Amino acid sequence: MVKVFVNGKEIDVDVESTLLNAIVKAGYEVPTLCYLKGIFNEATCRVCIVEISSGRLVPACAYPVSEGLKVFTDSERVLKYRRAIIELILASHKIKCQSCSMKGGYCQLLKLSKDYGVEGIPVCSECKLYGSECLLARGIPCLGPITIAGCNAVCTNEYSQCIGCRGPVSRYDVLKEGVELYVKYGIDVNEVLRLAELFWSSLPIIDTLRGLLRESKSGGKA
Amino acid sequence: MSVVSDVDTVISNILNRYNSRQYLMRILQEVQSVYGYLPREALEKLSSIMKIPLSDIINVATFYHQYKLEPPGHYVFLVCMGTACHLKGNQDNYNVLRDALGIKEGTTTSPDGLVSVEKARCFGCCSLAPVIMVVSRDGSERYLHGYVNIQEARKLAFKYRGLASSKKKSGG
Amino acid sequence: MDKCCSRCWHTPEYPCKHYIRCRTEGPLCHDSPECRAKRERRINEIKYGRYGLKIKVPIASCTLAAGAKEVYNAVVKEVNSSGLNIDVGITGCIGLCHIDPWLEISGKDLPSVIYANVKPEEVPKIIKEYLSKDLSRAFAIRSRGSTPPSKVPLLEELPSWSNQVRFVSRNCGVVNPESIEEYVAFGGFKGLEKALNTTPKAVIETVKRSGLRGRGGAGFPTWIKWDIAQSQVSDVKYFIVNADEGDPGAFMNRLLAEADPYRVVEGMIIGAYAIGASKGYIFVRAEKPLMAERLSKAVEEARKYGLLGRNILGSGFNFDIEVILSAGAFVCGEETALIAAIEGRTRPRQRPPYPATKGLWGKPTVINNVETVAHVATIFQVSVDEFVRYGTEKSKGTKMFCVTGSVRRTGAYEVPIGITLKKLVYDLAGGPPEGRNVKAVQVGGPSGGCVPSDMLDTPVDYETLQSAGAIMGSGGVVVIDDKSCMVDVAKFFTSFTLAESCGKCFPCRIGMKILYDILNNITEGRGSEEDLEVLTELSDAIVGSSLCALGGTAPNPVKSTLRYFRDEYIAHIRDKRCPAGVCARLVEYWIDPTKCVGCGLCARVCPANAISGERGKPYAIDRSRCIKCSQCFITCPQGAVTKR
């Protein structure tokens, strides 16, 4: 048995354990994607990285314990890098993935995206992939920049404005960027608000959106 | 040009000397030294005799740059992509070679199959940058050209195409 | 290497412990003035030729490319046809690439003279002048013998030589790399003899005292790796020498292995003895075939004289070496990937366990760089004190650096660690050519970073370079001048590591692609200011979370160019301009009227119809229509289209 410290908490573990075993035993959690007990522990996804006392970041699923080792599962660097890795994975994934309802609504990747605030890619990204001309550029109000993607941009591909039926993006920074686009193309903010209230009037995000649009109208922080 | 001679004999000769998985790299190198590339038939034969999944062999064959899966031209231009060579303009030489030989996007060999142009890792002759090495398909000839500018590159393209053409005519 | 008389009983099957020392100091087992004289005669023959006069021509990859074979043939022809009593031999690269091809004439009590940039037709004149004591054409004199001083400088007076400490490269350009006799005559294998006379642990202790750090890049203390492997209990252990040298712009391993391969073999045997390995591999880059040939020959010869095989020099130690070719993958510089290649697999794996405990086929394995084992051999041949004289507190000894790029004297220079970059670039390599200025110095290849020209007083050692944003790496130093674009340099290195990424882990596989795409956009005028933030954050994430050191160092060029040359990035993004005039989409194309012959080819291939002119008169590009596709630049047979 060896003694290790997980987030400051002392715990005794088997000498053959990995950091992941120790972390779980100590009652903490570390996300994993590629790890499958007894079958795959080659540490290729790097999502389970944790910080050890030397400052190095190591994968918890494949790193052995040693006497006196200190592990930190949620240090600033760990969280930042984990988020970056999830962003990278999503960047090479089908955008549709982010609102998949299969797998019983449970997908480890989607859960991680939400936990780390990486979800919420707007329809704009999907629309660009199809190369359609941007409706905003023609002065037509379109909710694409602030609606969550996953529909293959069916409406905008047919030159019909996006009316936000899939729901708004939940991330503030994405909302803000969307509002900036409206300002850039000189879209009437009232039009945008009218469209948004169609499906989103009962959602809390509508107030945030109203606030942002109002600011932009008065030449504010947008 | 898809008839590959004597795959059975070639493979069994090689496997007489190296016959286990651990020698896979050497086996592939030997196959390539015979044909100038790794013919699909040879890989399939290896897979079935050595009882290694074909996907495994192709994993190794496509991972390492040296292995070619398509027949190269009679002469192959290896354009050094080292730092010194890049700074002295070898990227331009590479483009000029491809243009002069009519090599299309996505392939490395000229449409007449005579000459190939490939990017190579550093040869270690940085003092002669930019460096282009030309090798014959069977590896027996090796010519290293240094201080190549774009006019020189164009001349080399035509020179070796001519040589390749005569080689082809004489059944080389 | 042969017996002096029938009293010598050494054979590989029944080896004599003192065989090596006997070659130069013997005979040791019996006293005989005839045998001693015979031995001295043989050593003189090796050093000065059969007639006391010898011409050496370097035959190495770089000299061959410069035309050394033709020079060699010319020398042989001249010597044969004139009936002169001169021995003609080959030697390895001396490291001063700017004088290739060179030759050296030397003899007993005669000056040893080097002639630079020799053309085959000059050979008869050179020989004639040397024989009539006219040395005016010479480049430098290695040793004067008994000749009076002349206008020709001594080699040791040249700044490119006097600043060097030729510790591990002492034989380069001196001995015949294919001759084991010459190696032994110049002190070779003495180190092995010394090592085999002590215990493996004592060998490790010596390496520890020397403070030798791995010369392959990481700078890990060599003795620690050896110690861990030595303490493992296993039926078989392996010692591997990494001669892959994947860094573009680095050729010191090739130089050493082609010029002095026996040194590499000797160091390997010492290392194998220290850890208890029974089998060794030298993993050689396929693109450097001469290196593989020379090393193979050295291994064969060593085996012939009982220096490899069973019961080496009567010590009871068994060890043999196999030279194998790599198949081209930069990632094989990473230990676990190299092991995978030898095993017929691909890709590195997570460490721990480290190869020293579980390596090749699960057995304890030590992997060392060519230069590292060459240092080991030399330390044992000479002494630890001779090694620790040089270097800094934390990094003892010397290192070979290859200085290339925009310098007058490209070459491989061995200098004490801790020397400043300024000295390396200006004193040794002669600084940039006329009309160019140094903008930055890239140290460490694609895993390293660039040091701007105002920071050239940075000493070259592992720790200082790291804090400056670069790494020592394998010792490749590329001098970048003001005609190069730093964003393009970052893009170049990124495209290299992207292509070489093994693809196993997310950060490197996807992250490097995104870094490249962003850099590419910037070089084509599609960048935005947010991109710089993304580049920085993504680089940090890739460095911190990658599986192996390839990903762990790949973003370094991006990070260091952003750190020191942010203004160039801004110019590309804000002004859509490439200050250095390099990035194809951000420069202006124009036709030089002095070179244009008016063939009209450019106008025909221009997709934008932007070029016009009359046959026979210089053509001109209408810049308002030019889309900067560079097709005219590529097509012009006269090279008359220029970028600025």
Nearest to B83 among C328, C361, C442 (CB): C442
Q: Where in chain C is the domain with CATH 3.40.50.11540?
A: 180-387
- Greater model confidence, C214 or A218: C214
CA nearest B130 in C: which residue? C405
B-to-C residue pairs, Cβ atoms closer than 8 angstroms = 139
* Model pLDDT for residues B117-169, shown as the tens digit of each residue: 998 877 777 778 899 999 888 778 888 888 898 888 999 999 999 999 888 88
**What would you report as the CA-atom Rg of chain A, rounded to the nearest whole angstrom?**
22
* Model pLDDT for residues B68-93, shown as the tens digit of each residue: 888 888 999 999 888 888 888 899 89
CATH number of A2-86: 3.10.20.740
> Quick one: which of C581, C556, C555 has its CA closest to C568?
C581
Q: CB atoms < 10 A from the CB of C212, how many?
A: 24
Q: In chain B, what are the domain boundaries?
A: 7-63, 75-169
Q: What is the mean pLDDT of residues A149-169?
A: 87
Task: Kindly state the greatest CA–CA separation across chain B.
Answer: 51
What are C501's two structure tokens?
A: 């990424």
Taking an 8 Å cut-off on Cβ atoms, the answer to whether A81 and C349 are in contact is: no
User: Which ipTM score applies to this complex?
Assistant: 0.89
pLDDT at C242: 94
C chain contacts of residue B126, beta-carbon cutoff 8 Å: 97, 249, 251, 402, 404-405, 410
Domain C487-574 has CATH 1.20.1440.230: yes
pLDDT at B40: 93
Handedness of CA C353, C358, C359, C364 (dihedral sign): positive
Q: Are C223 and C208 in contact (CB under 8 A)?
A: yes
CATH number of C588-643: 3.30.70.20
* Class of the CATH domain delimited by C180-387: alpha beta
Q: In chain A, what are the domain boundaries?
A: 2-86, 123-217
pLDDT band of B1, cuts 50, 70, 90: very low
Query: C196 by DSSP, 3-state: which?
Result: helix
Q: Which residues contact A114 (CB under 8 A, 6 or more apart)?
A: none
Residue for token pair 């080292």: B82
Query: C466 by DSSP, 3-state: which?
Result: helix
Q: Are A200 and A167 in contact (CB under 8 A)?
A: yes
Is C589 at the interface with chain B, CB within 8 A? no
Query: C641 by DSSP, 3-state: which?
Result: strand
Q: Where in chain C is the domain with CATH 1.20.1440.230?
A: 487-574
Using CB atoms within 10 A of its CB, is residue C529 exposed (0-12), middle (13-18) or buried (19+)?
Answer: exposed
* Model pLDDT for residues B122-132, shown as the tens digit of each residue: 777 777 889 99
Task: Pick out chain C residues at pLDDT < 50.
Answer: none
pLDDT at A219: 57
The alpha helices in chain A, defined as continuous H runs, are 19-25, 76-91, 108-115, 123-129, 154-157, 172-184, 189-200, 205-217
Handedness of CA C86, C88, C92, C96 (dihedral sign): positive
According to CATH, the topology of domain B75-169 is Glutaredoxin (3.40.30)
HSE-up (13 A, CA, CB side) for residue B95: 14
* Helix C123-131 × helix C68-82 angle, to 10°: 50
Q: Where in chain C is the domain with CATH 3.10.20.600?
A: 398-483
Interface test with B, best of C291, C401, C634, C636 (most B CBs within 10 A): C634
- A183 Cα to chain C: minimum distance (Å): 18
Mean pLDDT for chain A? 87
pLDDT at C23: 81
Is C177 at the interface with chain B, CB within 8 A? no
Chains B and A touch (3+ CB pairs under 8 A): no
The alpha helices in chain B, defined as continuous H runs, are 7-17, 24-35, 40-50, 54-63, 83-87, 90-101, 150-169
Residue for token pair 């948004």: A196
Task: Return d(Cα C222, Cα C204) in angstroms, integer.
Answer: 9
Which of the other chains make 3 or more beta carbon contacts under 8 angstroms with chain B? C
Is A53 at the interface with chain C, CB within 8 A? no
Q: Are C27 and C323 in contact (CB under 8 A)?
A: no
Amino acid at C371: E
HSE-up (13 A, CA, CB side) for residue C576: 6
pLDDT at C5: 77
Interface test with C, best of A65, A87, A88 (most C CBs within 10 A): A88
Taking an 8 Å cut-off on Cβ atoms, the answer to whether B92 and C330 are in contact is: no
pLDDT at B3: 53
Is B81 at the interface with chain C, CB within 8 A? yes
Task: Return d(Cα C512, Cα C498) in angstroms, integer.
Answer: 6
pLDDT band of A44, cuts 50, 70, 90: very high
CATH number of C49-157: 3.40.30.10
pLDDT at A221: 45
Task: Return d(Cα C270, Cα A201) in angstroms, integer.
Answer: 79
> Quick one: which of A75, A40, A85 has its CA closest to A61?
A40
Amino acid at C100: D
Q: Which residues contact B32 (CB under 8 A, 6 or more apart)?
A: B38, B66, B67, B68
Task: Return d(Cα A192, Cα A211) in angstroms, integer.
Answer: 13
pLDDT at C629: 85
CATH number of this structure's domain C398-483, picked from the four choices 3.40.50.300, 3.30.565.10, 3.10.20.600, 3.40.50.720: 3.10.20.600
pLDDT at C485: 94
Q: Record the pTM.
A: 0.89
Taking an 8 Å cut-off on Cβ atoms, the answer to whether B124 and C65 are in contact is: no
